[in-house]
Amino acid sequence: MPVPLIDSLATTEALAAVFANESILKAMLDFEAALAHVEARLGVIPQDAADAIAKAAQPEFFDAHALSRATLRAGTPGIPLVKALTDRVQAENPNAAGFVHWGATSQDVADTAFVLLLKQVRPLLEADHLRLITALERLANQHKDTVMLGRTLLQPAPPVTFGLKAAQWKAAAQRGWSRVNGRLSETLLVQFGGAAGTLAALGDQGDSVGRALAAELNLGYPDAPWHTYRDRLAAFVAACGVDTGTLGKIARDISLLMQFEVGEVAEPRGDGRGGSSTMPHKQNPIACSLALASAHRIPGLVAAFLSSMLQEHERGVGGWQAEWPILADVVQATGLAVASMAEAAEGLTVDPSRMCANIEATRGVIFAERAALLLSAKLGRDRAHELLSQASRESVSQKRRLIAILKEIPEIARAIAPEELEKLDAPEEYLGAASEFQKRI
């Protein structure tokens, strides 16, 4: 479905469809139809009443805008929905109307409906996470020997490999999805507790109806209703926050590597993708921008959800009513971030020659650490550091290779063999365990 213009940088079409009026209506009506069906099967209500309720529980029979207005007055979508459904059943089968929503409460339908929406979300998030992880693993393997600058505090540091960087991205994205998937699994539980969470209205059949309802909707059945216990949802929201933070970190790295002055990678081009309204030469990091926008938004949403957990006794005042838009926003922001980074990773262009050129542009000062380690054994750590600091400053100010400066310092020339000094700034000679780490992850 089309995404509302105001949400065009906050969701994907697939996720917008999940949280569209028609989808929400269907989820709530599926709850009511399933409840009637299992209650008839267990002899709680007449079969013809269940048939009438199921027949009436179709989204096209209801006005979502009218329900939205009524929800604002009722404080819950369940009350106006049940009234509208009852009116619909009444028109076709007056005797069946009294059995609509039998034994349930308004929060039961609202919570279970949202759980059903989360169930639809799962394959969408999974597919894009797998796209991202697969693309990053491919990049890691293709570039296991591609040497590039390491960067600490945004300044040049000893070399790494792009393979290791991509492998680190992949491992973090994999951990992120594992957390989200695990916490999401824990939320897929039916909510069915009745007025005060005891199902007293159903007598000794309450638990049987609850179990049958969960099975009918293909959801888990909790040990007890969770009306004011929102910890499972909160853990899922927090996992989304961590996941999107990771995706934002990857986006930040790629967008920095895309800067013209760096030019080591580039997002894929596409029709209408990455251009500028006034500067035709530009290729903007749009996928990264969208992921970063999500990563900026989600921490506040996570905090808002954690705040809403403070719910009173058996039914909350205000906390529960805050959740629907927060949850929908968190899920959609997470989905947009992972879809954007999957697109970026799948089409990422890597420029190994520019990576080498950027190493060369440092004139070898990034290997001062290596030289200091060699000198420390002969001259002591403090003297080695003093000499290398001075040599590095001269290399930068004179725009000469560090090796050339070192050769002119007698104390250093005596301490380091000429052949060892000559290969001091060979990047492939100073990668440590990069290859092993890349293979491991």
Please report the pLDDT score of residue 1 as a whole number.
Answer: 65
Domain annotation covers residue 240: yes
- Asked whether residue 304 falls in the same domain as residue 329, the answer is yes
164 belongs to a structural domain: yes
Q: What CATH number corresponds to the domain at position 56?
A: 1.10.275.10
CA gap 290, 274 in Å, rounded: 12
Tokens 């930068």 belong to residue: 396
**Could you give the CA distance from residue 163 to residue 136 in angstroms, rounded to a whole number?**
9
- 371-380: long-range contacts, CB 8 A cutoff, minimum separation 24: 371/402, 371/406, 371/412, 371/416, 371/424, 374/415, 374/416, 374/420, 374/424, 375/412, 375/415, 375/416, 378/415, 378/416, 379/411, 379/415
Looking at residue 422, its pLDDT comes to 86
User: Is 136 in the same domain as 152?
Assistant: yes
Q: Establish if 440 belongs to a structural domain.
A: no
Domain limits at 88?
1-104+195-223
In a structure prediction context, what are the per-residue pLDDT tens digits for the chain, which is 441 residues long? 678 899 999 999 999 999 999 999 999 999 999 999 999 999 999 999 999 999 999 999 999 999 999 999 999 999 999 999 999 999 999 999 999 999 999 999 999 999 999 999 999 999 999 999 999 999 999 999 999 999 999 999 999 999 999 999 999 999 999 999 999 999 999 999 999 999 999 999 999 999 999 999 999 999 999 999 999 999 999 999 999 999 999 999 999 999 999 999 999 986 655 554 454 555 789 999 999 999 999 999 999 999 999 999 999 999 999 999 999 999 999 999 999 999 999 999 999 999 999 999 999 999 989 988 888 888 889 988 998 899 899 999 999 999 999 889 888 888 888 888 888 889 999 999 999 999 998
Query: Of 28, 27, 46, whose CA–CA distance to 37 is shortest?
Result: 46
Does this model's pTM top 0.85?
Answer: yes
* Same structural domain, 309 and 167: yes
Q: Domain end: 309, 327, 361, which one? A: 361
Same domain, 356 and 208: no
Does some domain include residue 435?
Answer: no
Determine, yes or no, domain membership for 437. no
Q: Do 96 and 239 lie in a common domain? A: no
Instruction: Output the domain CATH number for residue 407.
Output: 1.10.40.30
- Ramachandran assignment for 225, one of left (phi > 0), alpha (psi -120 to 50 degrees), beta (any other): beta
Q: Which helix (H) or strand (E) holds 408?
A: none
Residues 127 and 256 placed together within one structural domain of the fold = yes
Tell me the per-residue pLDDT of 294-318, one tens digit each, with 9 for 90 and over: 999 999 999 999 999 999 999 999 9
Catalytic choice (8, 68, 276, 307): 276
User: How many CB atoms are located within 10 Å of the residue 76 CB?
Assistant: 18
Residue ending a domain, choose from 340, 361, 382: 361
The one catalytic residue among 106, 315, 363, 392: 315
The reported pLDDT for the residue numbered 377 is 85
User: Is there a single domain that holds both residue 69 and residue 157?
Assistant: no
Backbone angles phi and psi of 214, in degrees to 5: -60, -45
Q: Does residue 319 sit in the same domain as residue 237?
A: yes
Q: Is 144 part of a structural domain of the chain?
A: yes
Q: Which helix (H) or strand (E) holds 393?
A: helix 381-398
For residue 27, being part of any structural domain is answered with: yes
Q: Are residues 134 and 199 in the same domain?
A: no
List the structure tokens of 252: 């930040």
Q: 376 an active-site residue? A: no
Quick check: is 32 in a domain?
A: yes
For residues 329 and 375, membership in a common domain is answered with no
The three-state secondary structure class of 86 is helix
Question: What is the CB neighbour count within 10 angstroms for residue 2?
Answer: 9
pLDDT attached to residue 278: 52
pLDDT of residue 276: 45
Respond yes or no: is residue 315 known to be catalytic: yes
Does one domain contain both 123 and 35? no
Is the domain of 207 the same as that of 333? Answer: no
Domain tally for the chain? 3
